[in-house]
A = this chain, B = another copy of it.
Amino acid sequence: METVAEKAAKVKEASAALYTASREAKDALLLNVAKLLDAGRAKVLSENAKDMEGAKTSGLSEVMLDRLLLNDKRLDGMIAGLKDIISLPDPVGEVTETVKRPNGMTVERMRVPLGVIGIIYEARPNVTIDASALALKSGNALLLKGGSEAINSNRKLVEIMKQALNLSGFSENCVEFIDTADRAAVLEMVKQKAYLDVIIPRGGRNLIDFILENSSVPVITHGEGNCHVYVHEDADLKMAEEIVFNAKVQRPSVCNAAEKLLVSSKTAKVFLPVMAERLKAAGVSIKGDEETRMLVKDSAAATEEDWKKEYSCLMIAVKVVSGLDEAIKHINHYGSHHSDAIVTTSKAAGEKFLREVDSAAVFVNASTRFNDGFEFGLGAEMGISTQKLHARGPMGLKELTSLKFVVRGSGQVRK
Chain A interface (Cβ < 8 Å from any Cβ of B): 16, 19-20, 93, 99, 101, 105, 107, 110, 112, 114-115, 193, 197-198, 212-213, 216, 218-220, 236, 239, 242-243, 245-247, 250, 332, 350, 354-356, 358-367, 369-371, 375-377, 387-390, 392-394, 402-414
Expressed in whole angstroms, the Cα–Cα distance for A361 and B108 within the complex equals 10
Q: Is the CB of A412 within 8 A of B216?
A: no
Using A16-B332, A362-B404, A406-B354 as known contacts, say yes or no to A370 and B412 having CB atoms under 8 A apart.
Answer: yes
A372's nearest neighbour on chain B, judged by CB, is B414
Q: Is the CB of B193 within 8 A of A414?
A: no
Q: Is the CB of A212 within 8 A of B216?
A: yes
Q: Is the CB of B392 within 8 A of A402?
A: yes
A219 contact set on B, CB distance < 8 A: 218
A364's nearest neighbour on chain B, judged by CB, is B408
Q: Is the CB of B410 within 8 A of A365?
A: yes
7 tightest CB-CB pairs across the interface, nearest first?
A366-B409, A246-B413, A390-B390, A369-B414, A388-B402, A361-B405, A239-B411
> A114-B388, A361-B405, A364-B407 provided; 19 other pairs, C-beta below 8 A?
A99-B376, A101-B376, A105-B366, A115-B358, A197-B387, A197-B388, A198-B389, A220-B389, A242-B413, A362-B404, A363-B407, A363-B408, A364-B409, A365-B409, A367-B413, A370-B407, A376-B405, A389-B402, A392-B403
A370's nearest neighbour on chain B, judged by CB, is B414
Q: Is the CB of B393 within 8 A of A390?
A: no
**A190: min CB distance to chain B, Å:** 11
Q: Is the CB of B250 within 8 A of A413?
A: yes
Using A358-B115, A392-B403, A414-B250 as known contacts, say yes or no to A363 and B101 having CB atoms under 8 A apart.
Answer: no
Most buried by B among A101, A198, A414: A414
Most buried by B among A19, A242, A361, A405: A405
Q: Is the CB of A362 within 8 A of B406?
A: yes
Expressed in whole angstroms, the Cα–Cα distance for A376 and B406 within the complex equals 10
A243 contact set on B, CB distance < 8 A: 411, 413
A375 contact set on B, CB distance < 8 A: 101, 414
**Would you give 23 A-B contacts (Cβ < 8 Å), ordered by A?**
A99-B376, A99-B377, A110-B354, A115-B388, A197-B389, A212-B216, A218-B387, A236-B411, A239-B411, A246-B413, A246-B414, A354-B408, A360-B404, A362-B406, A363-B407, A363-B409, A365-B412, A366-B412, A369-B414, A370-B407, A370-B412, A376-B407, A389-B390
Q: Is the CB of A359 within 8 A of B404?
A: yes
A405's nearest neighbour on chain B, judged by CB, is B361
Q: Is the CB of B407 within 8 A of A366?
A: yes
Q: Is the CB of A405 within 8 A of B393?
A: yes
**A139: min CB distance to chain B, Å:** 11
Using A99-B376, A389-B390, A411-B239 as known contacts, say yes or no to A218 and B218 having CB atoms under 8 A apart.
Answer: yes
Choice from B355, B388, B414 contacting A20 with Cβ under 8 Å: B355
A240's nearest neighbour on chain B, judged by CB, is B411
Expressed in whole angstroms, the Cα–Cα distance for A393 and B97 within the complex equals 14
A19 contact set on B, CB distance < 8 A: 356, 358
Q: Is the CB of B389 within 8 A of A218?
A: yes
A414 contact set on B, CB distance < 8 A: 246, 250, 367, 369-370, 375
**A119: min CB distance to chain B, Å:** 15
Q: Is the CB of B413 within 8 A of A361?
A: no
A198 contact set on B, CB distance < 8 A: 388-389
A242 contact set on B, CB distance < 8 A: 411, 413
A394 contact set on B, CB distance < 8 A: 405
Q: Is the CB of A404 within 8 A of B389?
A: no
Expressed in whole angstroms, the Cα–Cα distance for A148 and B247 within the complex equals 52
